């Protein structure tokens, strides 16, 4: 019985490790609704600034991540493709504004 419980616990722990490892962006301590709001806001800001994040859907997909990376590079920020409060604040308040594509 104890071996079965131990084996089950180890299997459950092992099955969650890849999911945690797959996410390179630290969202610990942030409620899912808040993270979704930050992503949505970042997507809207990226679109307005001439970067192409794809759809504004509150999810990080390949196009949103690429747009974030392009913004971060052009703004002189560390390039990680992650959404954070600091990134969204930069998009709103940094002067001069950072534009990509055809925007100036």
Q: Is residue 103 part of a domain?
A: no
d(CA 14, CA 31): 24
- Residue 19, pLDDT above cutoff 90: no
What is the C-alpha to C-alpha distance for residues 57 and 64, in angstroms, rounded to an integer? 10
Q: Is the pTM for the entire model greater than 0.85? A: no
In a domain, 42, yes or no: yes
CA distances to 8, 12, 19, 95, 97 from 89, rounded to whole Å, are: 44, 38, 28, 11, 12
Domain count, the chain: 1
54-85: pLDDT as tens digits: 999 999 999 999 999 999 999 999 999 999 99
Considering the domain boundaries, does residue 66 fall inside one?
Answer: yes
Q: pLDDT averaged over the chain?
A: 82
For residue 33, being part of any structural domain is answered with yes
- Residue 37: inside a domain: yes
Domain that holds residue 76: 26-93
Confidence band of 102 (pLDDT split at 50, 70, 90): low
Q: What is the torsional sign of CA 37, 42, 43, 47?
A: positive
Q: Does the pLDDT value for residue 18 go beyond 70?
A: no
Any domain includes 88: yes
Q: What is the CATH number of the domain that holds 80?
A: 1.10.101
Q: Give the pLDDT confidence score for residue 23 in this predicted structure.
A: 56
- State the DSSP string of 52-75: ---S-SS---HHHHHHHHHHHHHH
pLDDT band of residue 95 (cuts 50, 70, 90) is: very high
Residue 4 lies in a domain: no
């Amino acid at each position: 019985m104890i071996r079965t419980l131990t084996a089950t616990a180890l299997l459950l722990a092992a099955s969650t490790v890849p999911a945690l490892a797959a996410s390179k962006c630290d969202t610990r301590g942030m409620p899912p609704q808040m993270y979704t709001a930050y992503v949505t806001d970042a997507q809207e800001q990226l679109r307005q600034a001439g970067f192409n994040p794809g759809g504004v859907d509150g999810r990080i997909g390949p196009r949103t991540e690429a747009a974030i990376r392009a913004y971060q590079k052009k703004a002189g920020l560390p390039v990680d493709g992650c959404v954070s409060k600091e990134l969204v604040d930069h998009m709103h308040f940094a002067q001069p504004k950072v534009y990509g594509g055809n925007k100036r």
